[in-house]
Structure formats: C-alpha cells, structure tokens
Amino acid sequence: MILEELNEITNDYFLLEDGSATDIYFTTSFLVDYLMKQQNGLWERPNGGKKIRVPLEYDESEGGWYQRNDPLSSDDREIIDAAYFAWKHVYGNATIYRTDSLYNAGEYAEVQLVTSKVKNAQKTARNKIAKTIYSASGDAASSLTGLLSCCSAATTTPYGEITEDGLVAADGTKRWKGNVNATGGTITLDIIRTIASEAKIHDGTDGKPNLGTTTEVLFNKVNSLLQTQQRYVKEEDSVKAGFLRLVFEGKIIAADDYVPTGYYFNMNGNHIGFGIHAKGYFARTEWMDLQGPAGQTMKVFWDGNMICNHRLAQGCGSGLTPT
C-alpha cells in the first residue's frame, strides 16, 4: 500500500469510530479512565520544560488575632514550593511489511489490516501506562512515577525531587510524608477508614480521600460487607465503561486489575493526577517507509507522568487479604 492510502485509512478509523478509537486507551484500568480520560484529578498540559513543575502550598501566611494598637506582621512566609516530575515517554508501534499487504489484498482486507495494526499500537501504549500506574518506580526510572512511589515510607528517597524532611510546615507537619499502612490482615471497613484517616489533611470534603482502588478479590470482600444502600452507585461514566465500583462514606471504591496483590489505595483527587505534554497525549505519526525491510510504519506517543501536589493526602494499605 502507498503511504497516502495508509494515512487515509488511519484517519478514517479515528474519525468514523464514534469515539471508540480513542476509548481504547482507557478500557483496562479504572484509575487511568478516572484520572486521564475523565480528568477527575490534577490535569496539567505543559508545552515544555525539562520537567513537569507542580506548584505546592503547604503552609499559612503570617496572620493572627490582634487588638487595636497591636503591631501587625508584614513578613512574607514561604508557602509555595514546587515538585518536579520527570517526563516519561511511551510508544506503541505499528508496522506493515510488504508481504502483509500482499497477503491482505483488496480494499476490505487492507482496511482490516491497517486498523488492527493501529489498534495494537494503541493498546501497547495504553498497557504500558496501566501496568506502571501503581509502581514503586521513581523519577530515575523510564516508567511512570507510580502510586507506590508516592506512598513510600522511605524518608530519604525523593518523590518529585523532594524528600519527606524537605517539606515541613511551621507547625512541624511533614506534608510530603509517604503514607503506607503495613498492618495487613483481613480487609475490613475499619481498616479502610483507618487508611483514609491517615491521609486526611483537614476537615471538609476536599481534605479527605475521595477515591479508593484495590484488587478485584479485595473489592468483592468489601462489597459483601456493605449494605445495599451503602454501595448504591449512579450510572456514571466509569460504570458505563464496565468497571466494578461502589461508594462508601463519600469515597468511590473500585476494582482495578493493576493494583498489586494485597493492596488498597486511598487517593484525594484534588491532589493527584496527570501532567501530559501538550503534544504528547497519544499523538500519532504519519505512516512512513521502513529503513531496510520493505514496508511502512507509524507510532503512537504518550509523554507525561503521574503528578501530585500533596503527598500526605494519598495513602495505601499492604498485606491485606479477603479472609
């Protein structure tokens, strides 16, 4: 097939599939769907920079009670710092050799061949992201700076280029502390409450975790512990996408196939999400001729990272079992 024909078929695939062509990127992981497709969290689209800069606010400015003649402080207290997350890059490749074209001659067969190759490239990029969203990989790794890195209890290991002791409020609170509850044992509603309380940063709806993910085995156990009225969920986007989820005490709890065995994660969507380059949100190249073998190739690129502006607001529990 000539390049013009390949690009035309690919463009038609993305334009005529009624959104399903791009839905492929979000269909295997609840958290990828929730944070990236639905954008229910931090959502930054920088167009450059050596790293993704995420502003932080971790302290209060000068202020207090005063009486009529009291002097008032005009000192400026540092309340803003920033975390820096490395760009992570993933791609999916589609290649059609000349022999593939010969074996799939005819308009219908050619369209099927091209779309199947493009879909596989999309799925490859998607799965690379989903498989590392919960990882312990840090900024030095090529994969995502995942949730286990965010929740790590290692006090001297930087996360977003900041260590636990590198961000301390005036009252001594370590707002960049990793939260991991390693008590383990049978998962219960009280354990879920405890993990949520450990990630509470203040009263009010935006100061507590509003999202939880776990394995399907542990999710089924939690589901069986709840009364029908406690687990009632409206038909929202993630339900329509086929993900198992429920609501417990104001938190969405969902099963995610990529959660490591024995883990339950609590997240505050106001403080965690994705930073994705303005030109790197599953961007695709044109088809081009291969250098060497006879054939053509195209790629799908994603450039970004998982980001956080309040580490203390996230947490997880490990070593949990259904019984």
170-203 pLDDT tens trace: 778 888 999 999 999 999 999 999 999 999 988 8
For residue 71, tell me if it sits in a domain.
no
Give the number of domains in the chain: 1
Select the more confidently predicted residue: 322 or 17: 322
For residue 261, tell me if it sits in a domain.
yes
For residue 309, tell me if it sits in a domain.
yes
For residue 66, tell me if it sits in a domain.
no
* Domain enclosing residue 267, as ranges: 3-54+81-321
Averaged pLDDT for residues 146-168 = 93
Averaged pLDDT for residues 81-94 = 94
Backbone angles phi, psi at 89, to 5 degrees: -125, 130
For residue 286, tell me if it sits in a domain.
yes
Select the more confidently predicted residue: 91 or 18: 91
Select the more confidently predicted residue: 233 or 221: 221
Helix, strand, or coil (residue 116): helix
Q: Using 50, 70 and 90 to split pLDDT, how confident is the model at 153?
A: very high
**235, pLDDT greater than 50:** no
The per-residue pLDDT for 108 is: 86
Whole-model pTM: value is 0.85
For residue 182, tell me if it sits in a domain.
yes
Q: Which helix (H) or strand (E) holds 320?
A: strand 320-321
**110, pLDDT greater than 60:** yes
The per-residue pLDDT for 259 is: 97
> DSSP letter at 270?
T
Alpha helices in the chain (DSSP H): 3-16, 20-23, 30-32, 98-103, 107-132, 147-150, 189-198, 216-225, 237-240
| Residue 123 burial (10 A CB sphere; 0-12, 13-18, 19+) | middle
**4, pLDDT greater than 60:** yes
For residue 129, tell me if it sits in a domain.
yes
For residue 160, tell me if it sits in a domain.
yes
**239, pLDDT greater than 50:** no
